[in-house]
């Protein structure tokens, strides 16, 4: 074999290798759009679950170290928890009072949730009962809880 034949064979091999490399580079830079796969909607039916077999272990066997049977401890009954009921919030404002000379009683101006009411001691409006009052503050009962409100200007 002559020098030219070896050179031509090596040149062909080199061109094939560089051709494969160039093909891979061009194939990744300009890919052909792939076909859209159409999905077939299947109806979903959940599998039925078999009922689990329950069991319990009864550990009333002899203690291997002491040689005696274990005594069962009495079960503790849970204490009933006291549920605190939530009292809904209400906006109560004391805006003033005046003395009624004909009935000899003081009338208090109380704003409850934006509505003004005239109250005397012992009267109730919207589940609010006026318990005590003075020129500077009033005390009212709402759902069994006493609250005190000062005069607002």
What is the set of domains in the chain, with CATH numbers?
92-150 (2.30.30)
Tally the C-alpha atoms within 13 A of residue 91's C-alpha that lie toward its C-beta: 7
User: Order of strands, edge to edge, in the sheet holding 92-100?
Assistant: 92-100, 105-112, 115-119
Q: Which two tokens stand for residue 19?
A: 């051709």
**What pLDDT does 144 receive?**
84
**What pLDDT does 121 receive?**
87
The pTM assigned to this predicted structure is 0.44
**What pLDDT does 1 receive?**
58
- 3-state secondary structure (DSSP) of residue 92: strand
**What pLDDT does 22 receive?**
94
**What pLDDT does 71 receive?**
65
Main-chain phi, psi angles of 139, to 5 degrees? -120, 130
**What pLDDT does 31 receive?**
67
- Stretches where the chain sits below pLDDT 50 are none
């Amino acid at each position: 074999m002559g020098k030219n034949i070896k050179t031509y064979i090596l040149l062909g091999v080199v061109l094939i290798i560089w051709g494969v490399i160039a093909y891979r580079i061009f194939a990744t830079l300009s890919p052909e759009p792939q076909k859209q796969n159409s999905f077939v909607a299947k109806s979903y039916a959940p599998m039925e679950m078999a009922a689990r077999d329950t069991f319990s272990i009864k550990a009333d066997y002899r203690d291997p170290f002491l040689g005696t049977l274990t005594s069962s401890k009495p079960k503790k009954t849970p204490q009933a928890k006291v549920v605190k009921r939530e009292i809904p919030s209400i906006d109560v404002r004391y805006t003033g009072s005046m003395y009624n000379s004909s009935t000899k009683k003081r009338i208090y101006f109380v704003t409850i949730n934006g509505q003004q009411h005239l109250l005397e001691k012992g009267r109730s409006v919207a589940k609010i009962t006026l318990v005590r009052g003075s020129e500077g503050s009033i005390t009212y009962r709402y759902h069994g809880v006493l609250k005190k409100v000062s005069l607002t200007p």
